[in-house]
Amino acid sequence: MAAAYGGGGVGLLGALAAGTLIGQAKLARRAIGMAQSPPPRCDGVYGTELGAIDGQLPLKLAVLGDSSAAGYGVDRPRETPGALLAAGLAERLHRPVILRSMAVVGAESADLVPQREVAVDWQPDLAVVLIGANDVTHRVRLPIAVAHLAATVRRLRQAGIQVVVGTCPDLGTIRPIGQPLRWVVRRWSREMAAAQTIVAVEAGATTVSLGDLLGPEFAAAPETMFSSDRFHPSALGYAAAAAAMLPTLVEALHPAPEAQPSLSQDEGVRSLAQAAVEAVDRAGTEVRGARVAGRDNGPAGRWAQLRHRVRQLTERPHDPQTTHSTPVQPSVVE
């Protein structure tokens, strides 16, 4: 638990030369470009060709978070993670999905407060939260960052909204960040992801680790997995993240029967702290709260089920039928 909350990070920073890190950070900022335009608005209705089945209304999906949630770095609405998830849900559940994005480029966890209030007013069936990278790069204290995430999950769950959190990606996969800074931000982002898993599951969400999801693909084809700024994912990169999260979204909206799923030896129930640490090591790992013998807690704290979901790809959606919702205006830009 102490490791998940970043107990080693300060000591690590003290052991490295501060001047070297500052110099590496300046070089990285110069190397990482800026996208030419803000992310495209992806609000609208997906899967309209499916129609309503047996009188069912369309599902409502909200996306909260930072530039990775907004789709910064791509050019078309259908390439954003929100569009990919909405289209995937419509395809899997055979129902149209109304998507609304509250995400703001440059947002830190503290900036979730206005986003979640807009989401609560809209009352979606499911909210997806992608946050944490800017907290790491701006060195927001870990307990402060995850406290904002926990408060957001609790607020959404109290409103009856299902919540899935994609935890902080491994920023050590960003090649313009040189060594030793890349090694340091990898440690910081992994600590952030583990802490996010703990507080989000305790607050009632399910988490999916994104970690180094793009790492192997980036090493093989950096020109295709990352956008022109070499920091944010490309359309293919966002598709990889959406594929990792989609099975968990389907489960959140359409729970499987109570029967225990078939799990491998490295899956199953363990303490939440242990599950959080294990999830960091394998991208695409789902962590949700569990009960053992009718109890939520055991000797080591909250029980959790860890599961490695099979990634579900979806066809690239068409641009959505637009809705008349008022978009959230960006309050932070970087």
Both structure tokens of 176: 């313009």
Indicate the DSSP class of residue 299.
T
Letter for the amino acid at 262? S
With left for phi above 0 and alpha for psi between -120 and 50, is residue 191 left, alpha or beta? alpha
Torsion of CA 318, 241, 94, 48, to 10 degrees: -20
Both structure tokens of 111: 């900036």
The Cα–Cα gap between 114 and 263 comes to 39
Cβ atoms within 10 A of the Cβ of 124, count?
A: 23
Contact criterion met (CB below 8 Å) for 306 and 89: no
The Cα–Cα gap between 226 and 236 comes to 8
Contact criterion met (CB below 8 Å) for 179 and 224: no
Q: How many CA atoms lie within 13 A of 213 on its CB side?
A: 28
pLDDT tens sequence for the chain (334 residues):
444 444 444 444 444 434 444 444 444 444 444 545 688 899 999 987 655 555 678 999 999 999 889 998 888 899 899 999 999 999 999 899 999 999 998 899 999 999 999 999 999 999 999 999 889 888 899 999 999 999 999 999 999 999 999 999 887 666 555 566 667 778 888 999 999 999 999 999 999 998 776 555 555 555 555 545 555 667 777 888 899 999 999 999 988 665 456 666 678 899 999 999 999 988 889 999 999 988 989 888 899 999 987 666 555 566 676 654 444 433 333 3
The residues that are catalytic are 67, 229, 232
* Distant-in-sequence, close-in-space partners of 121: CB < 8 Å, separation ≥ 6: none
98 SS3 class: strand
- What's the confidence (pLDDT) of residue 239? 87
163 SS3 class: strand
Specify the CATH number of the domain 9-256. Answer: 3.40.50.1110
